[in-house]
């Protein structure tokens, strides 16, 4: 190795490479991830390596992930160690080594200091069977992650439990979307990232977000906020059991919750205007990323006045519901844009998995824009549909909202 960060191989780095060598010799390596890339290649994101058996040889297969595609390169154990050393002196600032019994997280601080954290895996890890190539579909989340087993998504062998297939797909899709947003907003280069997940429920996604950010080598602080105390207690117990310091859960109502310094605001399936409160809080706190998947759009429906030409369509209740949903989420997207965000509204995962399948993703712009035309569009829509009040708009304008949401109603 060759720079100031590793002169005479820093003792922490030496311990890490010794553990890597041992894991390769004993064939106990489960996975190796190189992340927090800060080098010159604009597209390079990370390497994920797993053992494979090729022509009877135990090797490490490195998947090179870029912003657009992945490629694979295979190394014999001795070459693999040299390759990892080279990558850690050429732009990668974090390495995670998972073995059957431990996890080693090596990070290089901004000042070039090596930091090593070792944690014991609960109940032993998944045995590191060298895999035949490409049998398993490439996913963003590794099935072997301990939290998946603790939450009942996978069994003790690390296989996805059949009844949890939908949740597994949702977790992967969610992390894929988040990963792209984290890169595009520059949060991947921060040393610390603070996430708030409102209406965290059983917290599958909250754990997944924490795990993903930690594996990127970031100092992640993730807070799940949930109305129901038993779920809060359950999730805190699980996080503690897994030794996940930085992940915690608080009992609270998003409508009254005060938060500061949040980088990523998540609200998935928070019902009705709880989504508006969450978005408002995200905007107020200057979050770089706001992600929500709204549900039960009750607020605008009773206010809708069908313009005459639409009356034959909107006389059907189902169409009225769809119209109210489109208008509510369309207005939320516009209000986010007027507040300095680039916003997308898209299908989160297909209808076969859940009926709550819409995602609003907002990423804070580097440069502010003139939002007067957007406010005019919002005013025109309200006039067209006869809308008197929409909660997010009211909150952004500093007003108070008279009604509250029945959170058990959806």
Binding site for ligand SAM (CB under 6 A): 198-201, 204-205, 225-228, 253-255, 268-271, 274, 407
CB of 404 to ligand SAM, least distance (A): 8
Give me 33's structure tokens.
């991830």
CB of 146 to ligand SAM, least distance (A): 19
Q: Closest CB to ligand SAM among 59 and 287?
A: 287
Q: Closest CB to ligand SAM among 56 and 402?
A: 402
Q: Closest CB to ligand SAM among 158 and 252?
A: 252
Q: Closest CB to ligand SAM among 269 and 382?
A: 269
Q: Closest CB to ligand SAM among 88 and 151?
A: 151
Q: Closest CB to ligand SAM among 15 and 407?
A: 407
Q: Closest CB to ligand SAM among 296 and 331?
A: 296
3-state secondary structure the chain: CCCHHHCCCCHHHHHHHHHHHHHHHCCCEEEEEEEEECCCCCCEEEEEEEEEEECCEEEEEEEEEECCCEEEEEECHHHHHHHHHHHHCCCEEEEEEEECCEEEEEEECCCCCEEEEEEECCCCCCCCCCECCCCCCCCCCCCCCHHHHHCCCECCCCCECHHHHHHHHHHHHHHHHHHHHHHHCCHHHCCEEEEEEECCCCCHHHHHHHHHHHHCCCEEEEEEEECCHHHHHHHHHHHHHCCCCCEEEEECCCCCCCCCCCCEEEEEEEECCHHHHHHHHHHHCCCCEEEEEEECCCCCHHHCCCCHHHHHHHCCHHHHHHHHHHHHHHHHHHHHHHCCEEEEEEECCCCCCCCCCEEEEEEECCCCCCCHHHHHHHHHHHHHHCCCCCHHHHHHCCCCCCCCCCHHHC
Q: Closest CB to ligand SAM among 52 and 296?
A: 296
């Amino acid at each position: 190795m060759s720079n100031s960060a590793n002169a005479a191989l820093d003792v922490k780095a030496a311990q890490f490479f010794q553990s890597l060598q041992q894991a390769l010799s004993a064939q106990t390596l489960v996975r190796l991830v190189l992340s927090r890339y800060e080098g010159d290649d604009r597209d390079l994101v990370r390497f994920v390596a797993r053992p494979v058996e090729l022509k009877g040889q135990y090797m490490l297969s490195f998947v090179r992930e870029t912003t657009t595609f992945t490629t694979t390169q295979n190394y014999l154990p001795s070459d693999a160690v040299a390759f990892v050393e080279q990558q850690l002196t050429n732009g990668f600032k974090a390495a995670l080594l998972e073995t059957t019994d431990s996890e080693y997280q090596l990070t290089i601080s901004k000042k070039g200091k090596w930091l090593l954290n070792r944690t014991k895996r609960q109940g032993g890890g998944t045995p590191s069977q060298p895999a035949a190539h490409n049998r398993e579909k490439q996913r963003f989340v590794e099935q072997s992650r301990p939290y998946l087993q603790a939450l009942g998504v996978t069994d003790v062998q690390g296989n996805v439990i059949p009844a949890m297939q939908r949740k597994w797909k949702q977790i992967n899709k969610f992390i894929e979307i988040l990963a792209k947003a984290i890169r595009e907003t520059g949060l991947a280069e921060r040393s610390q990232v603070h996430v708030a997940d409102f209406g965290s429920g059983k917290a599958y996604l909250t754990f997944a977000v924490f795990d993903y950010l930690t594996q990127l080598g970031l100092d992640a602080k993730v807070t799940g906020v949930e109305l129901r105390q038993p779920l809060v207690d359950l999730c805190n117990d699980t996080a503690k059991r897994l030794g996940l310091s930085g992940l915690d859960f608080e009992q609270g109502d998003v409508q009254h919750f005060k938060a500061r310094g949040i980088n990523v605001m998540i609200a998935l399936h928070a019902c009705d205007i709880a989504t508006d409160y969450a978005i408002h809080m995200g905007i107020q706190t200057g979050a770089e990323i706001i992600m929500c998947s709204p549900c039960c759009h009750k607020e605008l429906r009773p206010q809708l006045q069908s313009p005459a030409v639409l009356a034959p369509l909107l006389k059907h209740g189902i169409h009225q519901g769809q119209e109210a949903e489109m208008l509510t989420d369309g207005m939320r997207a516009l209000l986010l844009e007027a507040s300095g965000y680039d916003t997308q509204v898209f299908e989160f995962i297909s209808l076969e998995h859940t009926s709550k399948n819409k995602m609003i993703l907002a990423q804070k712009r580097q440069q502010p824009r003139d939002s007067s035309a957007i406010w005019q569009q919002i005013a025109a829509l309200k006039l067209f549909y006869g809308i008197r009040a929409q909660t997010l708009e009211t909150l952004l304008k500093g007003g108070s909202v008279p009604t509250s949401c029945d959170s058990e109603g959806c």
